[in-house]
Structure 1
Amino acid sequence: MDLLPGVSSATIDTDRLRTHYLESGPTDAPVIVMVHGNLSTGRFYEHLMPALPEYRVLAPDMRGFGRSEPAPIDATRGLDDWADDLDAFLRALGITAPTHLVGWSTAGAAIARYATARPAASLTFVDPVSPHGFGGTFPDGTLCFPDAAGSGGGGANPELVQRLRDGDRGTDSPFSIRNVMRGLYWAPEHTEAREDVLVDEVLLTLVGDGGYPGDSTASQNWPGLAPGVTGILNALSPKYCDWTGLVDVAEKPPVLWTHGGRDLVVADGSMLEFGTLGEAGIVPGWPGADVYPPQPMVGQIRALLERYAEAGGSVRTEIFPDSGHGPHLDAVDRWLTVFRDFLAGR
């Protein structure tokens, strides 16, 4: 790989799986671990690493993605596979002190689950998945249907899945990963200088039942599908994904929540969520808002972090009004300033 100056690449065997990662900074410096989200890898943080020279920054490729061992995800554990993999990764490196954890999107749940069971120096959420998972919940997190219908692997677009399988790097379909990134990962007017690199990284995804999107089951409830038991989208289902327990942690790490104001993925009214699609008439047969409302994802995050603060935790919130799903990508300078100030206690 042709990496940025100051960034190196390595692979380490842990007691769970062989993990590939990027690293920068002095080995004796305070540690930051940056955990990527769904359909991405550690290289989605590479551009940030040289700007943090006083820290040891690690960016692993998580299970199912990048150059790490292609191991399946047990979705019935939510994001605990990722949390346990992260723990194994740090132990393999001999890192025992609490680290600063950054989690983008899916990884927000992973770092929260990690911190529920283990000490952390701080938690930085970047447009995290709702603490109640993705899809099919009322505002309070209660499931719309007991089987979590409308969430999980069956909700993936089949053309996107096939184009990932085919290694499509083009732009002739809205479901090519290049166009998906342009439309969802960052603001539409942002031009990503490393787009080719990031496309190639996503195309390393483990595609199938154990990876992306995961398996699915039929449901008698609208919209006719329910989560399976393997793969990343099922791990994000509210049937399994739950990081509300963060509120009950005795030693609460300080929290920074950064979120793009124009995020279309994790949003109140996300167009990737069946409640919103049903209300808009895009998916027929919607049973109505009293049965299956659009999921207020940002509101759910805010409510959980308010409870965290009321329980004694420190929470800083920064909304990036012009950013999409990745303010660390389309508002790099401001995001780094906010992050550095947070780490410094300012």
Structure 2
Amino acid sequence: MQITDVRDKGEPVVFLHGNVSSSAFWHTTLTRLPDRYRPVAPDLRGFGGTDPLPIDATRGLRDHVDDVAALLRALGIERAHLVGWSMGGGVAMQYLRDHPAAVRSMTLINPVSPYGYGGTHGVEGTLNSPDGAGSGGGTANREFVARIAEGDRSEDSAVSPRSVLANCYGKAPWRPEHEVAYVEAMLTTRTGDDHYPGDSVLSSAWPGVAPGKRGVLNSMSPVHFRVDDVHLVEPKPPVLWFRGEDDVIVSDTSMFDLAHLGAIGAVPDWDGTPAQPMVAQTRHVLNRYAEEGGSVREVAVPGAGHAVHLERPDEFIAELLDVMTV
């Protein structure tokens, strides 16, 4: 596992990046972190400079959790603040579920729903189909996957990595200062059945594909990943939920959810399957965490998208420092 660990002293803060990215997406945040903290930003399995280990999707996000736990043991870190963006938010929630005493605080930035990504409806994450149809490796855009594998740095398609960065990661059109570095980070994504997007199987339920057992998108499928019982952990560290209101990736009307795309006519033969209310599901689970005695603060940022920590870096660091001093 490749990591950014720039200080050997201070309160440890572990930064967990999202899907199709790497630790490079934390650079802006790391430069703003006061000296009293020790930032650790690993490349998660399948991204950045990691070894080509496969992802066992039947374990949900626990391959990533176990990697992070092993890293912290190697660094001699017993307790840390966790900061998870997108998929990394799911890793953080699973880490809290598995190692509650090791978490000082948890910050979630536009996290994957506690019920996984795709294939559910309602605030309690009810499966649309027992096999998880509409989630997993078969839901990825194949041209986008191919362009990652080819190392495409162009803007000649709406599904080139550079175009997806500009139009989906931030509020479109997002042209960040470190755009070149972010595109390069996206291109480190390992592709194939063992990584991104993963394998898939045919389903009799709409849209005709269900998750397989390998790869990153399947690891976030609701048949493999579900942390809606996080309210049971003890002790309960304080939680910050920081999100962009104009996120098109993690949303109640996500442009990456096939059910929502079917509803707007972008995916054919839609049968009325409802879109996944990702934000409402996260709020439902965190409200229960608060009802059971946990501290939760939700901060919704207008005019910001999925990479809200990069679009509003000063606002984000202020909220992060606040929750880490609770």
With the shorter chain as reference, the TM-score category is over 0.9
Distance 1:189 1:295 in 2: 25
**4+ aligned runs moved over 4 Å, structure 1:** none
CA shift for structure 1 position 142: 1.1
Matching of residue 92 in structure 1 with residue 74 in structure 2: yes
Task: Name which of 44, 56, 69 aligns with 1:62.
Answer: 44
CA shift for structure 1 position 50: 2.0
5+ residue gaps, structure 1, are 1-18
Task: Name which of 54, 66, 70 aligns with 1:72.
Answer: 54
Task: Name which of 254, 257, 273 aligns with 1:270.
Answer: 254
Q: Work out which structure has the larger RCO, using CA pairs closer than 8 Å and 6 or more positions apart in sequence.
A: 2
Matching of residue 287 in structure 1 with residue 240 in structure 2: no
Query: Match for 1:22: what amino acid?
Result: T
Task: Name which of 200, 209, 213 aligns with 1:229.
Answer: 213
Distance 1:202 1:264 in 2: 18
| Paired residues of 2:167 and 2:174 also in contact (CA < 8 A) | no
> What is the percentage of aligned positions where both structures have the same residue?
45
Q: Paired residue for 2:305?
A: 324
| Paired residues of 1:169 and 1:177 also in contact (CA < 8 A) | yes
Query: Match for 2:269: what amino acid?
Result: G
Query: Which digits, 9 at most, give the CA deviation of each residue in 1:270-320, with x for residues without a partner?
Result: 1110110111122222222xxx21111000000100000001100011011
Task: Name which of 300, 319, 342 aligns with 2:281.
Answer: 300
Out of 135-144 and 33-42, give the one that drifted further.
Answer: 135-144
| Paired residues of 1:24 and 1:50 also in contact (CA < 8 A) | no
Q: Paired residue for 1:251?
A: 235
Q: Paired residue for 1:108?
A: 89
Distance 2:311 2:166 in 1: 11
Distance 1:335 1:94 in 2: 28
CA shift for structure 1 position 191: 2.5
Q: Paired residue for 2:106?
A: 123
Distance 1:41 1:298 in 2: 24
| Paired residues of 1:211 and 1:231 also in contact (CA < 8 A) | yes
Q: Paired residue for 1:137?
A: 120
| Paired residues of 1:276 and 1:294 also in contact (CA < 8 A) | yes
Matching of residue 312 in structure 1 with residue 293 in structure 2: yes
| Paired residues of 1:24 and 1:49 also in contact (CA < 8 A) | no
Matching of residue 241 in structure 1 with residue 225 in structure 2: yes
3-state SS of paired residue (1:298) = helix
Query: Which digits, 9 at most, give the CA deviation of each residue in 1:118-167, with x for residues without a partner?
Result: 12001000000011111111212110101111110011111001101100
Out of 188-197 and 145-154, give the one that drifted further.
Answer: 188-197
Question: How many correspondences in the alignment?
Answer: 322
CA shift for structure 1 position 24: 2.5
5+ residue gaps, structure 2, are none
Q: Paired residue for 1:173?
A: 157
